[in-house]
Amino acid sequence: MKKIYLLLAILFIFSGGFVAGSLFSVKNNSSDLLDIGQIPQSSKALEQKALPKLEHSASNLLIGYVQDFRDPSVVNYNQLTHVIFSFAHPTKDGNVLLNGDTALEHLRTMVSKAHQNNSKAILAVGGWFHMNGGESYDYFKAAIAAPLARTKLVKELMNLTENENLDGIDIDFEHPRSQEDAVNLNAFIQELSSKLHLQGKELSIAVHSKIHSVTGTELGFVVYEPSMFQYVDHVNIMAYDGQWDGGYNAANLSPYPFTENIVNYWTTLFDKHNISKEKLVLGVPFYAQPEDPKSKQVSYEALIKNDPDNAGKDSVKLNGTTYFYNGAETIQKKTKLALTNGFGGMMIWEVGLDAKGVYSLTAAISEEMKEIK
């Protein structure tokens, strides 16, 4: 991604994942970026230790999104196979915007640091909010609906890939809401895929979980053309933000049973269409959702700074409300669930929200991956 925290009900209904992370983002009227804060600091000093680099196999990926206002130096690149900069913003006529000079500077620093640590640097396009205001949906929908705009968008993304030394592009169209949207997204993905793969670059796509957190049934308001997934390298499943399903309930953010249903759905879908499940990457949240919807989300890092013992929990009473999140044990259970079902790896929204040192959830995922190898 003046602070913006939009909690409009219509957005809640369609939110698939990055809206949560976007609530941490900020921008001002000049389209440059500002700093953000966390909840009050703890008096406890946390032990900081260097984390060993995890050797990843082709089917053992650890992908982390980084928001555009984030200082790139806070990312622990040596734990990640892919770092995805979020976001570039499409215009209706097929241009691509970054959120000011600060975002461009951060992108370039991230690319450099990622490559120094043998991680791939990817640029995400889309997200929930558009830098010019409102949802990105209307901008993205228009850009890929018209053939001329669609081809222009592909060209602009290829130019960015070359000029900024990127290893690929991640598409986050939130979300295709009709069969027409799905057809247009499929056409766009095919066109972009052919260009990127010709240059040895990667293409990934962030997708809605497609599962209702309460009923466990498939959600029909997000529509994908399954054949599209043949043309991407990774499918990053936003397996969180279930709190909006069936009336606001923060406990449904991303509990383990919800994730089991999501894994079963995508496993069945890919098996049915004979698509390799190694393309699938399971997303996990590094933020906590408040029981009181008037309260702000907080980062996992903030919970640990408040009390390191929170690493072993999935909920905690704080600031007059209860927060629900995924602690280290739940994150590791999800990692095992994904990899034992043939998924290619794990995805993080977002790495700037992680705790440091021994309490890092990124490190917890890495440790579990070592056990499963």
**Residue the block writes with tokens 């406990």:** 251
User: Helices 147-163 & 137-145, crossing angle to 10 degrees?
Assistant: 110
Return the number of other C-beta atoms located less than 10 Å from residue 223's C-beta. Answer: 18
In a domain, 25, yes or no: yes
Query: Strands, DSSP E only, in 154-270?
Result: 168-173, 202-208, 234-238
CA quadruple 65, 67, 71, 74: dihedral sign: negative
In a domain, 47, yes or no: no
- CA dist., res. 76 & res. 330, Å (int): 21
Q: What is the pLDDT of residue 230?
A: 98
Q: What is the pLDDT of residue 59?
A: 62
H helix or E strand, kind and range, residue 324:
strand 321-324
Q: What is the pLDDT of residue 1?
A: 37
In a domain, 87, yes or no: yes
In a domain, 278, yes or no: yes
- CA dist., res. 106 & res. 69, Å (int): 8
User: Whose CA is closest to 131, among 300, 2, 316, 304?
Assistant: 2
Q: What SS3 class is residue 169?
A: strand
Domain, as residue range, for 25: 9-31+53-372
In a domain, 39, yes or no: no
Q: What is the pLDDT of residue 169?
A: 98
In a domain, 38, yes or no: no
CATH number for the domain spanning 166: value is 3.20.20.80
185 contacts 144 by C-beta, under 8 angstroms: yes
Any residues with CB less than 8 A from the CB of 336 and at least 6 apart, and which? Answer: 368, 371, 372
In a domain, 1, yes or no: no
In a domain, 42, yes or no: no
Q: What is the pLDDT of residue 6?
A: 34
Domain count, the chain: 1
Q: What is the pLDDT of residue 372?
A: 85
pLDDT tens digit at each of 373 positions of the chain: 333 333 333 333 334 443 344 334 333 333 332 222 233 333 333 444 444 444 444 469 999 999 999 999 999 999 999 999 999 999 999 999 999 999 999 999 999 999 999 999 999 999 999 999 999 999 999 999 999 999 999 999 999 999 999 999 999 999 999 999 999 999 999 999 999 999 999 999 999 999 999 999 999 999 999 999 999 999 999 999 999 998 999 999 999 999 999 999 999 999 999 999 999 999 999 999 999 999 999 999 999 999 999 999 999 999 899 999 999 999 999 999 999 999 999 999 999 999 999 999 999 999 999 988 6
Please tell me the pTM assigned to this model: 0.86
144 contacts 150 by C-beta, under 8 angstroms: yes
